[in-house]
Amino acid sequence: MKILSFRLWIPVTLMAASMALAILRPAVGRTDVVLEPSTESSAGGATDAWLVTRGLIGRGMIGERSGSDIIMPPPGAEVDETRQTENRTGEILTQVKSWNEMVGDDTIHIEVTTLSAYQFEVAFWLFPNHRQGCTMYQWTLYDHSRALQSAFWRNDATVLRLAGAADLPHDLYPDSVPWVAFLRVLEAPRNGAEGTLHQQITPYSYVGQEVSAKGIEQISVPAGSFSALKVTAQVDIATVMPNWPRFVLHVIKPVVPKNTLYFEATPPYRLLKQEGATFVGGPAVTTELIRFYVVSAQTIAGAAPATHALGAPAAVFGGSSIPK
């Protein structure tokens, strides 16, 4: 299991592994095997060329850099800053800066996660704006400004299809996703909306998470007070153990952990708060929005930005403009 950050590692991985041993299923590897960072990229196409130029894939990700400012948001981008703490001790686990950049008909969601004084992560997800799923994902861990490990994933149905394995969903995500992915899978960001998030956990299989919007609440976080859409996410145990009897799955389902997410109820639907464990057996954590701001040339030069609202298009966050 990799270092946890703001994004969610599939919370049933350990449960699935223990169940697999119980029924003597052969073990298979994770889709995002951790490798030493590569100096080359197999990318192709205009978007991939942009990613290389931006420094998100290829040599730009592994050079000696000065720190977590290895990737900076461009002027005009809204940056959301969040903090994740352990509920029991109050210890700060991670602090994250996240933003979106538009490339053609895609959204690149970027996160820079501070883990400690010396370690940080850079990750991006490429989301198509007018359909579900993720097209590409990469994660890199740095220590003392030196890249240590990297993982790359691409949603290519031809390549991902393995002989003898069931077809994977076309709207697939990697096993690591940002919280905003749970909003994207809803048919619309409104009360009563439902959807399923499909995450690939091995070369042969995926897990579904049942996502549903449960109402509007008023909540307060360090960034302010907001009207929030409450969203819950729970692993669909039937996708983990498809051959188990339904009555057994019915008994297991109530003990499968849930995550509760609060998104701003109006565009741009920022994540405001998250509550729950990010993996089975892990500590309960809370993620909160600390502040948000629009990047200016002065901000990049080092001026302290002011927190204020921004009306971003709903499509950036996969709102109702994404067809099912």
Give the per-residue SS3 of 55-83. CCCHHHHCCCCCCHHHCCCCCCCEEEEEE
**Cα gap 294→292, rounded to integer Å:** 7
Q: Which pLDDT does position 3 carry in this prediction?
A: 37
More confident residue, 18 or 94: 94
Using the predicted structure, report yes or no on whether residue 238 has a pLDDT greater than 60.
yes
Q: Which pLDDT does position 67 carry in this prediction?
A: 63
Q: Which pLDDT does position 249 carry in this prediction?
A: 72
Using the predicted structure, report yes or no on whether residue 259 has a pLDDT greater than 80.
yes
How crowded is residue 50: how many other Cβ atoms within 10 Å of its Cβ?
17
Instruction: With 0.95 as the threshold, say if the pTM is over it.
Output: no
277: pLDDT confidence band, cut at 50, 70 and 90? confident
Q: Which pLDDT does position 29 carry in this prediction?
A: 31
Q: Which pLDDT does position 48 carry in this prediction?
A: 86
Q: Which pLDDT does position 323 carry in this prediction?
A: 30
Kind of pairing, strands 271-277 and 258-264?
A: antiparallel
Q: Which pLDDT does position 157 carry in this prediction?
A: 60
* Sign of the four-CA dihedral 127, 133, 136, 139: positive
